[in-house]
Amino acid sequence: MNGKLVDFEGIDKAGKSTQIRRTVALLKRMHIKNKVYKYPSKNNVYGKLLRDFIRNKVELNEYEQVMLFLLDMSMDQPDLTKKLREGYTVILDRYFVSTLAYQTKDGVGCRDIKEIIRILRLRKPDVVIYLDIPPETSLRRLRTGKAERFEGDLKRLKRIRENYLKLKKERFPTKNWITVDASNDIDEVNLEVSSRIKSIIKSK
C-alpha cells in the first residue's frame, strides 16, 4: 500500500518546523514509517545555492530562484517515490507550493511555474497542511538579529499569504487543503495537526 505525501506550508514563523517535529514523533509512536524532505535541501548544489540566497550571501533573479527551487525538489523525486511505494508517510517541509507562493510576485507568472512543475513531473502532494498566521504575527515572532530574505517585510509577507490563499481557492495542486490557525498556542495547534495526521493515515 502506498504511503501519503503530506506538504506543510505557511509563511515565515508559522511554526512548520515545530509541527513537523511533533508529527514525526507522533508517527514514531504509531509505528508508522516516515521520511522528511526539507526545502531548500542541504544535499545538492541547487539547495546549497538557495540557502546562500536566503541568507543574503548571493543574489539571484526571480527566474533563477524558480528554476533552482524546482530543480532542488526534482533531485529527491526518485527516492521520494520509492519511499511512498514502500508505505512511508512522507513529510515535506515546503514544496513547490512555496515556490508558487513566494516567487510569483516580482515578474514570474504562476502559469509558467506550473508548466515547469509539469515538465519536471514533480509528484503532487496528497494533502497540504497550511499553517495560517497573519503577517503581523510573523513579524512579532521574528527573533531579534539579522533576518533572512523574505522575513521582516510586511508588504511582501501579505502578498505571499494572498498567494497561498489563491492556491487554496484554486485547489492546486490538490483539493485536500487543511487550514490550521497557527496563531494559537503551540500545543493547541499541535492537537489539531495531530488529529488531521491521524485521519490522513487512516485513509490509506
pLDDT of residue 113: 94
The pLDDT of residue 180 is above 90: yes
pLDDT of residue 109: 85
Measuring CA to CA, how many Å separate 19 from each of 15, 112, 134?
A: 6, 31, 18
pLDDT of residue 202: 84
Sign of CA dihedral 18, 19, 20, 24: positive
pLDDT of residue 147: 61
Cα–Cα–Cα angle for 39, 44, 47, rounded to 5 degrees: 35
pLDDT tens-digit map of 114-173: 999 999 999 999 999 999 999 999 988 886 445 666 667 889 899 999 999 999 999 999
pLDDT tens-digit map of 28-63: 999 999 999 999 999 899 999 999 998 889 999 989
Q: Output the pTM of the full model.
A: 0.93
Instruction: Give the phi and the psi of residue 167 in degrees, each rounded to 5.
Output: -65, -40
pLDDT tens-digit map of 66-104: 999 999 999 999 999 999 999 999 999 999 999 999 987
Q: Integer distance in angstroms from the first to the last C-alpha of the chain?
A: 8
pLDDT of residue 108: 73
In this prediction, residues 18-22 reach a mean pLDDT of 98
Structural domains of the chain ordered from first start: 5-202 (3.40.50.300)
What residues pair up with 68 in beta bridges, in sequence order?
Answer: none
pLDDT of residue 105: 60
